[in-house]
Amino acid sequence: MTGPADIIFYLLAAMTVGAAILVAILPNIVYSAIALLFSFAGVAGLYVYLSADFLAATQVLIYVGGILILILFAVFLSNRISDVKISNPSRFHWQAAFICLGLFGILSYTAVSTAFPVKAVLSYQPTTSEIGELLMTRYLLPFEVASVLLLAALIGAAMLSRPDGGRGRPAEMEEPKR
C-alpha cells in the first residue's frame, strides 16, 4: 500500500527518529532539549496517524507541555550547564553501547513477537471513554501502582529540595518579615 498516507507515516517516523538521534549526539544540552521537542511531536503525530487521538493529545500535554519544559527550566537555571564540557561529556561509551543494544534487543523482540490486534476497518471513534473504562476496571492495579510510584517520586523530590538534602529545616516559604 503506497499513497499519501504512507508518505506522511515515513515523514513522521523520520522526524521522530532523526530528532531522537540529534538528542543523543548534539553537544549542547539546550539543542538536545529542542530536538527532543520535535521527537515528542513526531510520536504524537504517529499516534494521530493511528487514530489514537486521546494518546496524541496527552503525549503533547504531558511530554511537550510539561516534562520538557521542566527539563529546560532546570537547564536555564544553571548557567554553566549550557557549557559544552559540563553538559554533555562523552564518557562510558562501551557500557552505554552494551546497555542500549540490550534494550534494543528486548524492545524489538517484544515488538515482533507480540500479536497486535489489527482493526480490519478503519474507524475514527472517540477512544477516550474506552481508555477511561479500561483504566478503572481491568488495568486498575497497574494504574494505581504507577500513581504510587509517582507519589513516591514527588515526596522524594520534596525531601531532596530541602536544604542539606533533607536533613535540614524546611525552606522558609512564608512572606518576608518586615
Partner 1 sequence: MNPLFDIAVSVARIAVFFAFVFGLVVVMTWVERKGAAYIQDRRGPNRASIMGVTLFGMFHPLADALKFLFKEDFIPDGAHRLFYQLAPMFALAPAILTMAVVPFGPPVTIAGKQVALHIADLNVGILYLFAVSGMAVYGIVLAGWSSNSKYPLLGGLRSSAQMISYEVSMGLSVVGILMVFQSVQLSAIVRGQGELLFGILPRWGVFVQPLGFILFVTALYAEANRTPFDLPEGESELVAGYHTEYASFKFSMFMMAEYIHLVVGAAVLATLFFGGWQFPYLGDSGFAFPGGISVAVPAWAVFLLRIGSFVGKTLFFCWLYVWVRWTIPRFRYDQVMRLGWKVMLPLALANIFVTGIVLLLIDRGGF
Angle between helices 29-49 and 68-77 (to 10 degrees): 170
Positions 126 through 165 that interact with partner 1 (CB under 8 A): 126-128
Residue 123 burial by Cβ neighbours in a 10 Å radius (0-12, 13-18, 19+)? exposed
Our CB check for partner 1 shows the closer of 115 and 175 to be 175
- Which of 129, 114, 120 lies closest to 53 in space, CA to CA? 129
Which range of residues in 8-16, 48-56, 106-114, 162-170 is near partner 1 by CB under 8 A? Answer: 48-56
Q: Shortest gap between Cβ of 138 and partner 1 (angstroms)?
A: 21
Are 46 and 15 in contact, with CB atoms under 8 Å apart?
no
38 binds partner 1 (CB under 8 A): no
> For residues 38 and 16, what is the distance between their CA atoms, to the nearest angstrom?
7
The x, y and z cell numbers of residue 122, run together, are: 478503519
- Position among 35, 37, 43, 46 found at the interface with partner 1 (CB under 8 A): 37
61 counts as binding partner 1 under rule CB under 8 A: yes
Q: Which residues bind partner 1 (CB under 8 A)?
A: 30, 34, 37, 53-54, 56-58, 60-61, 64-66, 69-70, 72-73, 76-77, 124-128, 173, 175
